Each structure stands twice: as C-alpha cells, then as structure tokens.
Structure 1
Amino acid sequence: MSNPALGRIIMVIPTYDEALNLEWIVGRLRTAQPDVDVMIVDDNSPDGTGDIADRLAAADPQIRVVHRTEKAGLGAAYLHGFKEALAAGYDVIGEMDADGSHQPEQLHLLLTALEHADLVIGSRWVPGGSVVNWPKSREFLSRGGNLYVRILLGSRVRDATAGFRLFRSGTLEKIDLGSVESAGYVFQADLAWRTQQAGLTITEVPIEFIERVRGDSKMSGDVATESIKRITRWGLHERRSQVRRTLDRWRGR
C-alpha cells in the first residue's frame, strides 16, 4: 500500500532462526503501520521460521516471503530483499531486525523524517536515543566502533552500524548495490558511507533500542573482525584519496 507523501513503502526483515519472534514482530509492525508492506527474507532457517513466514503471508496480502537457500550473512539477505523491492516498484525500502530490538511503534519517526531526507537512520547515539538491557561493555564497543567509523571515514553519521532505517528507492539506485560486497553487520556502515559519498541527505532520529529477550544473537567475533577490517581498508583508501586531492589542488595553484 502507499503513503500520500512517500509512496509505496516496504520493510525488509531478514531472518535466521527467529521462530520465537517473527509472528510477534510482524504483528506489531502491521498494527503500528497498516499501510506499510512487509518482506521477510529467510536464510533457510532450520527452526521453521520460513514456514511461519509462509503462513503469515498466506493470511495477509501485504506480507511477502523470499526464501534463500543458505545463511550468507545479514548484508546478503538485505541486498536480496532490496533488489526484490526495487523490482516491485516500491518508493521507500526500509530495514529492521526480527528480534524486537527495533520497535515498530517508532517507525513513524523515521517516516516523518524521510519527507526531507534520502536515508533516515534510527539512531541510538544521537541526543534522545537510548539502549535497554545492554551491559556497559557492549555499549562501549558500539560507541567506540561508531567513533572509529567517523574518524577513519570522515563520516558524519553517529550510528552508522544501526539497522533500523529507511531508504528512498532513488538512494539505493544511486549507491550501486551491485558493487556491495560486505555480508555481515559492516553492511550498515557501508551503505551509510556510500550514501554520504553520493552527496545525499542522511538524517538520524533518536530511537530506543531494546536488546532481544528471545532467541540467540547473531553477532559473533568473526562478524566484528570483518567489520573492523573492511572499515579500516575503506578508511585508509579514503585518506589516501584525500591526500591525492590536496596535492592535486596544491600543484594546480
């Protein structure tokens, strides 16, 4: 369905072993935003998540399901969903977790902000944002990781790793999804960085992020390592590019 100001909107929800959460979070989303469609992208979950998704879609024409054959990472699932949504002609394509950490009842904040932006991020680390049920150690890691992104890439985004966001379809078309290689959580920083590099408008709105209470987190040491390596590589490349641009300007005087 459509929003008069924004057009057709769909939220992409990637899943892997979210049988305990999927029906609950999709129900909340459909209640909070009845005009927003839902796409569930399941990576062949062994716990039956895909079957639950099919049942939800059979009962609600605004829910669609994409079944993937393997667990290939968060970024790969989102890219698949984004391409499907673009092909279906959606004007706004959003993303959110299936575990309840992103509250559908706050989606209206992002929708309102998107009227004047190309990408809106629901942020934990702007004034008014918060996290619930996180130990201080995890908050330190998240804040530190985002600071690292800002320093190394020159990013203006305070919560580049956040996964509650809305893209205009034109934004996704401009940032060349076909060249995105990041598969894990670094995917979020990657797309925010590409949006900034394209000269598009990014707005962060404060949200309350709630740590999952059911099921297991998908974050792992390997995922964190991939993120650090890729961000470091991008940052060093950007710094070299900045030096070359400065030298070129100096030589041209």
Structure 2
Amino acid sequence: MTDGEAREYGPLGKALVIIPTYNEADNLRSVIARVRTAVPEVHVLVADDNSPDGTGKIADEIAADDEAVQVLHRSSKEGLGAAYIAGFRWGIEHGYGVLIEMDADGSHQPEEIPRLLTALGGADLVIGSRWVPGGRIVNWPKSREYLSRGASTYSRFLLDVPMRDITAGFRAFRKETLESIGIETVASQGYCFQIDLTRRTVHAGLRVVEVPVTFVERERGNSKMSRDIVAEALWRVAAWGVEGRVKKILGRRHT
C-alpha cells in the first residue's frame, strides 16, 4: 500500500466494469451474468477486438437485453492495453467515476468487486492481489506462478514500487486517477500495461491499495500469454528503471 498525500476522498460515482475480449465466446455470457448478479448497480462495457469467434455478436445480444451492458467494437486485435485505454476513454466520456478492469475468462471473481469498491473509497487505485495475505490462486501450474511472482519482484526492485502483485489485471481506478497519469501516452501491452499504470500512479504520489482476491485459471478458451508479452515487460521495465535512476542522479546534482 502507498499512502500518497493525505486528503479527503469524494464519492465514487457510477462504476463501469470494462471487459476486453478476443475470442471469448465460451465465457462471456457467464462472466457478465455473474457481474450483473454480484453488483447489479454497476454497468459493463465489452471492448471487443473484432473476435473471429463471434464474441462481439454475443456481446451485442446481451446488450440488447440489458441496458446496463454496452459494447465497444474495435476494428482489429490491438492488444489488452489499447482495449483498456479505449474503454477508459469511453467510460470517462460517459460520466463514470470508477473504471474497473476485469478479464473475460472467469479468472477474476465478480463477487469480489464490492471488496475493490469498498477499498477505493479511500484510495486512488485498488489492485486485486494474489500475493498479499488472503490472496490465492486456483489451478495454476507452478510455471505460471513463478512467472507472475518473478515479474512482480523484478518490477518492484527496478521501479521502486511496493506492490506485491504489480501485474494483476483485476483493479479499480477512480476517474481522476486515470486523468492524472497520462493514459494517452501509454503504449505498453499485456503484463507490461498493468505495470505501467501502477508505476505511473505510485510515482504521481497517489494512494494505491492491494486487497486479497482469488484468481482461478480459465476453464475454457486459450490464454493470451505469449513470449512476446513477457519480452516486452522485461525490456520496458528495465528501460523505465534506468530512466528513473538517471533522473534521481540528475536531481541530486541540481539540489
């Protein structure tokens, strides 16, 4: 947890769950149904990257029956980061005060959204963490666990951020947080996108809180994890780490 500047937090406003999709036809209906049951007051935005398996069509059918569900059709597969940024912009333009990231594959538990919203009452960003006390994973191979833990440790060391689960993709932002950290300049994707938003929030002096969640490995469909995503995270984090250390050194020389 980082405390940021002590201050009073205003009301949260309307909440929007953003679900980026690419070939999630087998999972989307059940995930949205769980969100709408668990937290009926929140709205859902599906950001679909022109899925060839018909995910976008399924999203349209759900939206036709539920006015709390909207669909953002994107022309091509541009990656997780680009989908979320498009969703953030849509949500801010439509008056939402809270933007929630959540996967479409069932790995994030919609029933835990209230926990994130409660914590956001006194924070700028809340991360649903697997690696804080009370957090856990279900049905993950050890190789994935080592990769995730290793990525967080690597990033925490190089970027000087205290988060235990910096790559987590289940999180809630205040609108003002996203407006203040320059999301228009974010170019990173995958693991790296989550790392980038976290470091920007911490370095802006904002308050970040981690709450424990349960992460369940998907039962249907294919993971989007790839060697390219891991490689991007490694080199971008290293570059950010070097940049940060250079700025500190130069800052000391001019004080």
Distance 2:89 2:206 in 1: 20
Q: Does 1:146 align with 2:189?
A: no
Greater RCO (Cα-Cα under 8 Å, separation 6 or more): 2
Give the AA of the match of 1:14: P
Contact 1:125 1:159 in 2 (8 A): yes
1:56-71 equivalent positions in 2, closer than 5 A: 56-71=62-77
**Range 137-146 or range 52-61, more displaced:** 137-146
1:68-107 equivalent positions in 2, closer than 5 A: 68-107=74-113
Task: Name the counterpart of 2:116.
Answer: 110
From 153, 164, 178, the counterpart of 1:172: 178
Query: Once the two structures are superposed, what CA deviation does each residue of 1:107-127 show, in whole Å capped at 9, x if it has no partner?
Result: 111010000000000001111
Distance 2:12 2:203 in 1: 24
Give the AA of the match of 2:227: G
- Deviation, 1:158, is 1.1
From 35, 56, 61, the counterpart of 2:41: 35
Distance 1:99 1:6 in 2: 27
Task: Name the counterpart of 2:138.
Answer: 132
Give the AA of the match of 2:192: V
Distance 1:86 1:198 in 2: 20
Distance 1:150 1:205 in 2: 17
Gaps spanning 5+ residues in structure 2: where? 1-9
Contact 1:186 1:226 in 2 (8 A): yes
Percent identity over the alignment is 55
**Range 134-143 or range 32-41, more displaced:** 134-143
Task: Name the counterpart of 2:205.
Answer: 199
Distance 1:141 1:247 in 2: 38
- Deviation, 1:86, is 0.6
Contact 1:74 1:185 in 2 (8 A): no
Q: Secondary structure at the match of 1:7?
A: coil
Distance 1:5 1:30 in 2: 22
Gaps spanning 5+ residues in structure 1: where? none
- Deviation, 1:33, is 0.2
Task: Name the counterpart of 2:18.
Answer: 12
Stretches of 4+ aligned residues off by more than 4 angstroms: none
Distance 1:103 1:83 in 2: 24
- Deviation, 1:239, is 1.2
Name the count of aligned residue pairs: 246
Distance 1:138 1:79 in 2: 26
Give the AA of the match of 1:197: H
From 19, 31, 36, the counterpart of 1:25: 31
TM-score between the two structures when normalised by the length of structure 2: 0.95
Give the AA of the match of 2:124: D
Q: Secondary structure at the match of 2:190?
A: coil
Task: Name the counterpart of 1:216.
Answer: 222
- Deviation, 1:5, is 4.5
TM-score between the two structures when normalised by the length of structure 1: 0.95
**Range 79-88 or range 5-14, more displaced:** 5-14
Give the AA of the match of 1:20: D
From 226, 234, 245, the counterpart of 2:240: 234
